[in-house]
Amino acid sequence: MPFSVSAIRPSSKNEPRRPIPHWSSRASGPLALLPSVEKAVHDLDANVPLEKPMSQAAVFEDSYSQPRLFSRLAMFFALLAALLVALGLYGTLSYRVSRKSAEIGVRIALGAPRSQVLYLVLRDSFRIAAIGTAAGIPPRSACRSAHGLYALPARTPR
């Protein structure tokens, strides 16, 4: 098992450099070295306990578990909101078309081209979408200056 010793940089000028052992193991997992690490730390200083020893990958996973959960929940609710918006728009459009079915039938019977009938249906839908967009831009602009996730400013430098 490869073993090397390096020195810890002191936190102050008066503190001496202390050796710290480093192990590397490729055959087994990092926690397989735990007994020898505990022995080496105990040999250096018997008063230093190893609290919650874990691999660096486990430390990384543990440190990002809560933000990852938050982002997954945010993604789930964003997709749910998008689905509800799509269903609402579909329902609104189908209701408006069903109310105009007599007018559409008369136009088709009189020989109106398909593009004119499609324009009749979509004109009102685009008007509603434009009103909704115009109503949504001011609140979006007001929220843009607020801080986002993790206290980052809205205009983060790239």
156 part of a folded domain: no
Give the span between the Cα atoms of 110 and 104, in whole angstroms: 10
Domain boundary among 34, 53, 72: 53
What does the pLDDT read at residue 131?
92
92 part of a folded domain: no
114 part of a folded domain: yes
Count of structural domains, the chain: 2
Give the span between the Cα atoms of 29 and 73, in whole angstroms: 32
Contact 51, 59 (CB under 8 A): no
45 part of a folded domain: yes
Residue type, 50: L
Other beta carbons within 10 angstroms of residue 71's beta carbon come to 12
Q: Name residues of the chain where pLDDT drops below 50.
A: 1, 3-7
Domain boundary among 53, 70, 85: 53
What does the pLDDT read at residue 5?
45
Contact 37, 53 (CB under 8 A): yes
69 part of a folded domain: no
91 part of a folded domain: no
Where in the sequence is the domain holding 37, given as residue range(s)?
A: 3-53
What does the pLDDT read at residue 1?
45
Contact 3, 21 (CB under 8 A): yes
Query: 156, exposed or middle or buried, with CB in 10 Å at 0-12, 13-18, 19+?
Result: exposed
In this prediction the pTM is 0.49
111 part of a folded domain: yes
- Write out the E strands in the chain: 3-8, 18-23
pLDDT in tens, 67-78: 888 889 999 999
140 part of a folded domain: yes
